[in-house]
Amino acid sequence: MAFKDYYEILGVDRNATDAEIKKAYRKLARQYHPDINPGNKAAEARFKEINEAYEVLSDKEKRAKYDRFGRDWQRYQDIPDFGGFGAGDFADIFETLFGGGRGGRSSVTYRAKGQDVEQSVDITLEEAFSGTQRTLQVQSLNGSLRSITVRIPPGVDSGSRVRIAGEGAPGIGGGARGDLYLVINVLPHSRFERRGDDLYVRIPVDLYTMLLGGEVKVPAMGGRTVALKVPAGTQNGKVMRISGQGMPRLRDPQTRGDLYVTLEVSLPTSLSPRERELVEQLRALAR
């Protein structure tokens, strides 16, 4: 069977836009429509060719496969998902679809890269701060399992993807393997809340420091504490920013986001007689 060049049938260039393809189709469809050419078998056959060409070229995925594989594009479209198959299974299916048993030679001449594979990985906020690694089991082309160690850089967040080249599904026709992507999920932290590269924390501050001012110690990532000066007369719920004490930035781990501290007044639960006397005097002065 002669190869049908769909671009030639519609009379458009291979780089034609979707709008140009649609315009060419409408013009030709009107010209060769059976209602315009009753009883004309040649026009009817041409009309079918035009519709066939437009059906492929107007579909983004079909057009991409047609551009890549030409006359074999439909055979490629029928190949199932090989993501769950081993190398031996892949070879059997490939030979069944395209001919050439074991020991023979397949008639297929094109190659295609294998599918990319994703795997979810949970890490702690501390691991996201410092960077970490994971050891994974991946399948070799011969079906055996082997271990690989993957470095996860500092600054990753939930949804970040770490690429491991060439560890995905096998390729088609001897093509390269796809890639493996670790999809990161950062687990919630008991103390810090993360928003992008910034961290948020709440700390209790005694009543006297809030009233008179002073210095408090604020926990920071990496097991450190940071001194924060509290102005006199600070209101409960006041949010203060400590620059550069947030998460490392993924693209530039030498720089960091900020740490936002919410100050929550901590009232004494019991007062000595003398303390109560002084507080009552303070209340009387405030009236």
Instruction: Please give the class, per CATH, of domain 193-266.
Output: mainly beta
Q: What angle do CA 145, 149, 152 make, to 5 degrees?
A: 135
Distance CA 230, CA 210 (A): 7
pLDDT of residue 128: 97
Distance CA 246, CA 200 (A): 8
Token pair 């299916």: residue: 93
pLDDT of residue 82: 44
Region of 242 (left: φ > 0; alpha: ψ -120 to 50; beta: rest) is beta
pLDDT of residue 110: 62
Instruction: Residue 123: name the closest of 165, 152, 162 by CA.
Output: 152
> Domain 6-77 belongs to what topology?
Helix Hairpins (1.10.287)
What residues are paired with 200 via a beta bridge?
193, 260
pLDDT of residue 3: 59
Cβ proximity of 154 and 91 under 8 Å: no
Q: Do 6-77 and 110-186 share a fold?
A: no
Instruction: Residue 65: name the closest of 80, 75, 52 by CA.
Output: 75
pLDDT, tens digit only, all 287 positions of the chain: 455 788 889 999 888 999 999 999 989 988 988 878 888 888 888 989 898 889 889 988 888 888 877 766 666 555 544 444 444 444 454 444 444 444 444 444 567 888 888 999 999 999 999 999 999 988 887 778 899 999 999 999 999 999 999 998 888 777 888 899 999 999 999 999 999 999 999 999 999 999 999 999 999 998 899 999 999 999 999 999 999 999 999 989 899 999 999 999 998 888 899 988 988 888 888 77
Q: Where are the domains of the chain?
A: 6-77, 110-186, 193-266
Note the CATH number of domain 110-186.
2.60.260.20
In the chain, how long is the greatest CA-to-CA distance?
112
pLDDT of residue 73: 65
Global confidence as pTM: 0.60
